[in-house]
Amino acid sequence: MLTAPVIVAALLFVILAYAGKTYWAWVLPAAILMADCWQNLPAEPTTCWYVWAYGLVALAVVFGFKPLRRLLFSSWIMKLVGKALPRLGETEKIALNAGTVWWEGDLFSGAPRWHTLLDFKKQPLRKDEQDFLDNQVNTLCKMVDDWQISQDRDLPKKVWDYIKKEKFLGMIIPKEYGGLGFSAAGHSAVVTRLASRSVPTSVTVMVPNSLGPGELLLHYGTEAQKNHYLPRLAKGEEIPCFGLTEPTAGSDAANGRSEGIVVKEKIKGKEVIGIRVTFKKRYITLAPIATIIGLAFRLKDPNKILGGKEDIGITCALLPRDTKGMRIGNRHDPMDIPFMNGTVEGEDVFIPMDYVIGGQEYVGQGWRMLMEQLSVGRGISLPSLSVGAAQLALRATTAYGVVREQFGMAIGQFEGIQERLARVAGYAYMMTATSRLTNAAVDAGEKPSVVSAIAKGYLTEGMRLCLNDGMDVMAGAAIIRGPRNIFARPYMSIPIGITVEGANILTRSMIIFGQGANRCHPYVLGQVQAIEKGDLKAFDKAFFGHINHIVRNITRAVVHNLTAGRFICAPKSAIGCKERRHYRALTRLSTAFALCADVALATLGGALKRKESLSGRFADALSWMYLASATLKHYHDTGRPHDQKAVVDWAVTYALHNTEQALLGVCRNMPNKAVGAVLLTLCFPFGGRHNPPTDKQMNKVMKYLPGIRDALTPDVYVPEATDPALGRLEDTYRKVVATRDIRKKLDKARREKKIAKQALPHMAEAAHKLGILTQTERDTLLLAEAAREDTIQVDSFDPKQFLKQK
């Protein structure tokens, strides 16, 4: 019966559970109901009533008095959970514990603190970084002829010399060692701009500044190693590469067969402790020209020369190119993109112990070193390259959509083309925002391993989509190779970005959620660590915190769905109904994500590790929430320009739809169908709410796109008009746009039958004779038309020349 006390107790339960006060959410409503029952007791209360009353009091005491709770419940729960946890190897533990938890932890919690994100300050480029971008980077872009590089199969000597002279290879090396000392944002800006001009040049500059000898030396090298190598690397006197991948160990890099044995040998009459190492590495960027080779191998000490265990673990060392017995092999040809890439091999190669990065103290620490630095580098290099490609796709397609005409009108006026242009615009904005936010986190001292994996995986996928759309829009002009082609070489490079630094299939299905569930969840890691240490007090705190977390998210999920999220607090700085609605939708989906993740962990336990499709859907949901968050953050930080509102709305709508579809997929594919049905009822009782962007949203993007084209492509290098590809297209685009009013006059005269419909130059002449166009207008129109005619041409080669093309 719904009496007043019952209603009050129910409301109190909901309010306290929603606020995360699970203990009081049970105790206080129970006390209210008991007091009500006491007032209405019969003269002789039943035994059942006493059992119920005293039972509630006992439970309140047991669970409220933590020492008693630990003694009666937590001790055996700890044993039970310990048996259910999957056994992790040392390399798995290191990988899972690498890096730090940042904003992804909020998204994982179910209650993201938007003020924390919006108050986070992204540092702008420093003056020296901006100067370098405006001068040295633009100069390098001007020097580069990407088509000629593809024919020569290498960068020209003058380009190599300039890269070394201006310290492009030492961007991350501190100034005290002779480097540029750039921030992650500065490093990213350079890679992005170079990627918009030439992929081989971008990769050549990117790799030494990403995971490699320089980064490892900075953080783990001995002072002697730093003082010797870092100044030489900064000046380009040494060219580095790093050998990790092997024929039998690609994504599973921790299980490579490269092996080193600790030995004692006499060198010049003196006994020296060193390592005999055998290795076979492939896919090593810069290996063909490298002068210093970083090497990862498993070190063993069967004779216990170092006095510890026999299997010491993965170790990283630096080998000069002239190390006896090491062979720099042949070049690979990665998708016809001619950056330096090849093999490194050696059999029974002796290296002294001081070749180990960090010296003898760091033997066996290689995997930790690699995972810690990969958690940073993976979020900068390839995401930056991907942003450059996406912005290039937007820049070129929007220009081509105006320049190219079919059926008597610019192809950019066809809805089929507009659909692709709007998508590229939305992606370019979202990818730029994500890269900027991730770089800012690194510059703030974070090592966001999960966010870095998201940025690498989903921005390289975004690059694939944008370039595919670009190829579709430019059609024949995009598929004919030659100096005029803008997209052929970036398009060919797509699989490289998808594959390296953790293949995207692996990143999605195993790394993002696999690592996220342990690192980002507010309580899982605490429970695991407490079990490993046998710390009952810490386990009790983490376990019951986890229970409280689950109850809170169940309550929130129900309340959010019943109220359509209307009572979720959006940031005070959010302006307009749509923006507030986006924040509320993300909070609602974050709650659903957290609840689904907890249920999956509870019902599947260690088996979840093998449910890669399910893990991939969780990764999709978490990643799209991060991309949407970055988009809203970027919009906030740039002052919410009105003309960019439509593209932000498109991007966030797209991300919300993908997040929801991923979570619906989780619920529908839970191995236990009853569990899945309950999750669907709790999280999506009315089905999906978020549709893909509508035609109306697409039309709004297209309305503002011409005016925000520069704002959405700030990192693209735009060559001079003499450049046969993008430079020519941009010059023609400007000329054609300048004739719009003149074309309107011409079209009006044709509709009024003052002039006949014919080729545009003839109509321009006829209109000029009739006084409809001035001579200046006619000449401007003819000049633009001549440029248009030239720009839509494609390359062709005579038979002998064709056979020489590469």
Positions annotated as catalytic residues are 501
CA distances (Å), 1 to each of 4, 34, 532, in order?
9, 15, 49
- What span, in angstroms and rounded, lies between the C-alpha atoms of 198 and 145? 8
- What span, in angstroms and rounded, lies between the C-alpha atoms of 3 and 156? 85
- What span, in angstroms and rounded, lies between the C-alpha atoms of 228 and 105? 40
Alpha helices in 98-145 (DSSP H): 103-109, 114-119, 127-132, 138-143
- What span, in angstroms and rounded, lies between the C-alpha atoms of 508 and 56? 46
CA distances (Å), 531 to each of 349, 524, 528, in order?
43, 11, 5
Report the 10 Å Cβ neighbour count for 518: 20
Pairing of strands 292-300, 259-267: parallel
Strand partners, 409: 406
- What span, in angstroms and rounded, lies between the C-alpha atoms of 532 and 542? 13
- What span, in angstroms and rounded, lies between the C-alpha atoms of 474 and 461? 20
On the CB side of 22, CA atoms within 13 Å amount to: 14
Instruction: For residue 685, give the 3-state DSSP assignment.
Output: coil
DSSP 8-class letter at 249? B
Q: Which two tokens stand for residue 122?
A: 């992204």
CB 367 within 8 A of CB 94: yes
- What span, in angstroms and rounded, lies between the C-alpha atoms of 210 and 221? 16
* Amino acid (1-letter code) at residue 727: G
CA nearest to 658, candidates 579, 586, 598, 574: 586
Residue 8's Cβ-count burial label (10 Å; 0-12, 13-18, 19+) is: middle
Q: Which two tokens stand for residue 133?
A: 């971008």
Instruction: For residue 640, give the 3-state DSSP assignment.
Output: coil
CB 193 within 8 A of CB 134: no
- What span, in angstroms and rounded, lies between the C-alpha atoms of 123 and 172? 17
Instruction: For residue 689, give the 3-state DSSP assignment.
Output: coil
CA distances (Å), 702 to each of 200, 319, 413, 652, 705, in order?
33, 55, 9, 16, 5
- What span, in angstroms and rounded, lies between the C-alpha atoms of 359 and 316? 10
Report the 10 Å Cβ neighbour count for 717: 24
The H-or-E segment that residue 508 falls in is none
Provide DSSP, 655-683.
HHHHHHHHHHHHHHT-SSHHHHHHHHHHH
